[in-house]
């Protein structure tokens, strides 16, 4: 299935920094997950597998709060 992306959206995507493109991809994944399920149907165990990413430094202390 070919999807035609409107030119105005293509131009906006091209203006994004690489880190913002990662955010856009995560937003698109969220929207697909949200709208791809049947109404009234809940996902089961493991539905978010590979959908949530944690940074490698997640457990590091905040700057200024080190002991």
Alpha carbons 16 and 24: distance in angstroms, whole number: 9
In three state form, how does the secondary structure of the chain look? CCCCCCHHHHHHHHHCCHHHHHHHHHHHHHHHHHHCCCCCCCCCCCCCCCCCCCCCCCCCCCCCCCC
pTM value is: 0.44
| pLDDT attached to residue 38 | 66
Going by C-beta distance under 8 Å and a sequence separation of 6 or more, which residues neighbour residue 65? none
Mean pLDDT score, 8-14: 89
pLDDT in tens, 21-61: 888 889 988 888 887 766 666 667 787 888 888 888 888 88
| pLDDT attached to residue 8 | 92
């Amino acid at each position: 299935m070919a999807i035609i992306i409107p030119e105005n959206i293509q131009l906006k995507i091209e203006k994004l920094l690489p880190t913002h493109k990662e955010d856009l991809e995560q937003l698109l994944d969220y929207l697909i997950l949200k709208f791809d399920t049947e109404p009234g149907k809940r996902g089961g165990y493991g539905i978010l597998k590979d959908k949530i990413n944690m940074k490698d430094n997640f457990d590091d202390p905040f700057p200024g709060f080190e002991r």
